[in-house]
Chains A and B, each alone.
Chain A
Amino acid sequence: MSKKIMLAHGGGGRLSAELIDKHIVPRFANPILEAMGDSAKIQIEDKVAFFTTDSYVVKPLFFNGGDIGKLAVYGTVNDLLVAGANPIAISLSLIIEEGLEMDVLDKILDSVAIAAKDAGVKIVCGDTKTVDAGSADEIFINTAGVGEKMAGAELSFDRICPGDKIIVSGSLGDHGMTIMSHREGMKFESDLKSDCASVASVCKAAVETCGADVKFMRDPTRGGAATTLNEISVSASVDIEIEEAVLPIKDSVQAAADMLGFDVLEIANEGKVVIVVSADKAAKCLEACRATQAGAESAIIGTICEKNDEPIVELITRIGGRRVVQMPYGRELPRIC
């Protein structure tokens, strides 16, 4: 059977990585792309510009805590912020399925406007396409963003070293479990709410307080914290140890994940950031993150360790056991019973 694209190829896990590494990056090989950052760093004369893009195909369009419009702004803005850039402007491209209610479109666009204002970015260009009914699912949105370097930010995988601490800026899994609870067929009542928000205050607080002691930041979106931690482990060639007892996870998120057999570490977030900071400044950085509204529940969840053989992320469990935190496959399947 010839190989075909499967849903898991877009899930942010191992299959996504394989698709990008084998089929996409080699064709366009250049040092900027190969850095594989959340944003590309481009030198324009004597200034560094940051550039990123992302597409949004979330179903349902509206969910508790957000909608596709809000997500399309914060998702791209956050990719700039975690790369150590202050967002300046974003584009907005809409692919709309024939038959979408105009009211729905207006509601989404209003949400885009509110989020852009909140994030301090202007929508400066855009595009609109419509496709036949059935050729898209209501609406798909693409945004691209540009930003300029945040003063004091010196972020890269190769600055990470053993001893550094890992901070997460709040509860894990809120967005992914909310989306799943909304999807067709999952009929449980809950108070789950997406964390969809800008991570600007947290990123800026960390960098302003600790400067170059902040080594790396990434927003754990698709594939959750498990993907981000594995990316750090592989790219920085280090082991990582995290502690289950200190992971910030809401009871409702844990309960929903347990019911479906999911690991919260593999569930998407849309308003959180994972920060790697030197051990010396970890407490100070945590304090600065906690002083922000978005980062009030920040926690130090683990430590960067010397690599044994191949890079690995390990979880120390509540009962004192240890287990690997693997890069997820890309499409988490609810269990049978």
Chain B
Amino acid sequence: MLERINRAYGWIDKACKTLGRPVNIMEVCGTHTVNIFRSGLRSAMPDGIKLLSGPGCPVCVTDRGYIDTVLELAGRDDCIIATYGDMIRVPGSKGSLEELADKGNVKVVLSAEDALGLAKNNPEKIVVFVAVGFETTTPATGIVVGEAEKEGVDNFCVFSNHKMVIPAMRALLSSMNHKIDAFLCPGHVSVIIGTDAYACIVEEFGRTCVVAGFEPMQIIEGIAAICEMLACSSPGLGSIYGAAVKPAGNVVAMGVIEKYFDLVDGNWRGLGEIPASTLKLKEKYSQFDAEKRFAIDSVPDEDLTGCRCGEVLCGLIDPPECQLFDNGCNPDKPIGPCMVSSEGACAAWYKYGRKRKRRTQ
């Protein structure tokens, strides 16, 4: 392992020398962010490497308007809200699902399948599945909608805010003030979309993309692979997660997404509206679409005063640069979504990066 680390550090050094400035690498995925912190990798990285946390935590990029709508639905006596655990602490303008959970109609589920199970077990209630997540969770939502249709479970519906990773990466690179040299691409999402999906980032924007798994050694080698390409001055596409990720991805799962969802423009917290980035149920499945069922109109978006989650998500600032960080905003009383999710950049900085921050102050 030491030999691998040393080899990796060799490439990192070379890249820094070649570029003559720090190398900015964005890890797109929240799981990478957390594992980078949890493994203490930041503190072990050479100075020339700057790791930026990207918009790959589904909770963090969910806009406040969506949360407020979920809270409104949770206030109805005829609804059960089925949600992934991370979502229950996200603050809307009037509290969070966790604070509303005393009515007993907010249920944490681990899968879309469990949400459908809730609907079957509670025929007198309408179960609304809070469907968030990237390409990893979207196929499961689609499959469950198919099951609900087949079995005639008409008290089940989906409030879809599923998102796609590539449009967000494109939006970041289209912004003038980004400082991203390369992306460390998420292992799980890449299993579904495949490495070829990143070709447009390399070709159109000249940015290197390397897919890596989540073990610390994989992350180090992913960073090294990026540096190797940067040192050779040729942006490229790579994967060191070859065992799980195929160039074309999981064709079946992508087919499920296409079958059940339409790609529409969508709001991302911090990034604003991104064209063709959000997945909504197709008209054909509108009976399972919460937006149709409850006549949910436009979902207003409103960012909070002082909260700089948007800039954090774009890799423009590190969380401690936000004036609210540890100053009114912490994981117990989060203001912005990056502090809520265990995979949010602010929560990870707060949870694992505290000592370092104090030492530098």
Interface residues of A (CB under 8 A from B): 1, 4-8, 14-15, 184-186, 258, 260-261, 263, 309-310, 312, 314-324, 326, 329, 332-337
Contacts and interface: CB of A to CB of B under 8 A. Distances in A.
Interface in B30-73: 30-31, 34, 37-44, 58-59
A8 B85 CA distance: 13
20 contacts: A6-B101, A185-B117, A186-B110, A258-B214, A261-B342, A317-B44, A319-B5, A319-B39, A319-B40, A321-B42, A321-B44, A323-B37, A324-B353, A329-B332, A332-B342, A335-B341, A336-B86, A336-B87, A336-B137, A337-B188
B257 to A, nearest CB: 14
Interface stretch (B91-99, B234-242, B245-253, B273-281): B91-99
B86 A324 contact: no
B291 interface: no
Contacts, number: 118
Interface of B: 5, 30-31, 34, 37-44, 58-59, 84-89, 94-95, 98-99, 101-102, 108-111, 114, 117, 132-134, 136-137, 188-189, 214, 216-217, 220, 331-332, 341-343, 351-355, 358
A1 B99 contact: yes
Contacts of B117: 185
B110 A185 contact: yes
Chain B binding surface SS class = helix
Given A185-B110, A337-B189, 10 more contacts: A7-B98, A184-B114, A186-B110, A261-B342, A310-B358, A312-B354, A321-B41, A323-B43, A324-B355, A336-B133
B351 A336 contact: no
B229 to A, nearest CB: 22
B149 to A, nearest CB: 22
B223 to A, nearest CB: 12
A4 B355 CA distance: 32
Contacts of A258: 214
A319 B84 contact: no
Nearest to A4: B102
A319 B44 contact: yes
Given A185-B111, A334-B110, A323 B331 contact: no
Contact of B352 (A184, A323, A333): A323
